[in-house]
A and B are shown apart, each in its own frame.
Chain A
Amino acid sequence: MAAAHRADLIHSKELHVRLLRIVPDDTRFDFMRFRRISFPISALLSIAAILLYFFHGLNFGIDFVGGTLMEVQTKAGPADLAKMRATMGSLHLGDFQLQQFGAPDDVLIRISEQPGGDAAQQVAVQKVRDALGTEVDYRRVEVVGPSVSTELLSYGTIGLVLAIGAILVYLWFRFEWQFALGAMIANVHDLVLTVGFMSLTRIDFDLTSIAALLTILGYSLNDTVVIYDRIRELLRRYKKKPMPDLLNASINATLSRSIVTHLTVSLSLLALILFGGQAIRSFTTVMMFGVVLVGTYTSVFIASPILIYLGVGRTRLGEAEEPEIPSATPPATPPVPSKSSTPQRRARVRR
């Protein structure tokens, strides 16, 4: 028994030394003080994002505006963009764009929606196929007619609103309404900034972007909920602690987890951005921006401080309350061995 214990101690000590501590134990950062900076910054950035959306616009993909997208690969050497442009120009298909896509022999062709309804789009595709002939490999052809694109756009919008509503109701159910509202403000702020980012970088805004936005919404909330959970726990435990201190304590307590989790998520996303191929690069880039950059910042600097303004714990200051419950967390530790053997003994009995 004693020998086993010694071995155990050595074992755990060894491991302990090797481990990497990303965040030191017991951090005491005063995150709440930053709200006087973070709130104005976020407000400014949000306004900038909204202005970008209205004046710079989004680079809507064919999912939402209709039209044709073709990815072709030239069979003989690098693509001659000028020649292809001339060939395309002679077809009189209105606006079109040619763009190198990854490799030098890979070309992305976009043709704007043709007037004349759904059938006209098909005619245009056939014209291009005939003109480019067999000199190229058609890696991808996507044609979205006007009736579908209108629908997809409304589905996407409805989906976002629906998701926000459903999550709001869930949080309201699990927390107080102030928490639900705070989380929503914070995460709509995430979405606004991400849309601004997409406007700035001219990344295609299509169905996968809606998927990215919804994922960002989900994960940012995930993060926020972890901190809120802790806030709720501390609110129950410390009845007299001032709100800013309590929020600081909650954020600091979850800080290590937040950072480790964001590191693992960013590692996954990084692998996807670097090796996942051109086809999903914009999707993963947007998620990297939304989940890792904005999401983390928001949970710490917006979602938590906003609770103060929404009136969580307003009643607690200076009010006479029932005495603090000594509660479960700090020490209160009965001797160990009895407990460690309990499960074992029971199991044996049941055998």
Chain B
Amino acid sequence: MPGVLVFTEIKDGKLKKASREALSIGRQLAEAAGGDLVAFASDAAAAEEAGRYGAKKVYVAAIPAYTTEAYTAALTQVVNDVQPSVLLFAGTSNGRDLAPRVAARVNVGVASDVDRLEWLNGKLRARRPVYSGKAFATVEVTGTPAIATTRPNAFPAEEVGGGAAEVVNVSADAADRVKVVETKVPEAGELSVAEADIIVSGGRGLKEAANFSYIRDLAHAIGGAVGASRATVDAGWIDHQHQVGQTGRVVSPNLYIAAGVSGAIQHLAGMSSSKHIVAINKDPEAPIFRVADLGVVGDLFQILPVLTEEVKKAKAH
């Protein structure tokens, strides 16, 4: 009996990290609910990796480019055939686009952007930050399947060493009233704050747009994404894709380094669930220090270049 179905995505031939995280929490839920973990993917290449994360089967709909309607049709068909108790999506752009559409088609609700999940008394229970983390709601999802989207970085990805999942091909029709004309990748190799493990953020303390180079250099050296406060985005110093906070991205990386960010309530709400926080600010009273694990009262223009060099040295070893 299939317990949990996870929608997975492939990038460069491998499962996205957020998908591996969703599979891992999915496997735990399947154990608790009783039943197998199975996955949905657009390519049979996912089978081996999904197996390592505990999936017994992968339902493959060969639709190369993601579009909402084609994927909704294919996934809904699998949901109807498999009848899972739980359906999980990683909270990626596509996961957030698809989950509500599938949910409305099968007339069930969605717990979105959850950072905790458990199977309790025959129901899916989830915790989700609301008001950008100013409060947490615990919700119970009724209906079958119970659907949730998982927040990237909130659940650890754990291999359990299973063999390749069995591939089940699903008939797929790529017809869609929306088509992808082009995908624009602005700066090659730039990481997205939504999924990054490390984020280096800059605020108004940078004084001007050109000084984001201090942030970019450190982010590049340490292998992290560039984040930004709302003030810097509103001032036009950097693109909105980088904004962390209530009207930007809510993030939970392993390491968050904030330089020249004072820590408006808006910003704190978006990053205070980061696992390790370092703040550099010349104002000892800056609210960012209230959430920082390591606060450095000092001049970012002096400290960041030294730090960047030290990181490069450490990486070279």
Q: Do A and B come from one complex?
A: no
Binding site for A on B (CB under 8 A): none
A positions within 8 Å CB-CB of B = none
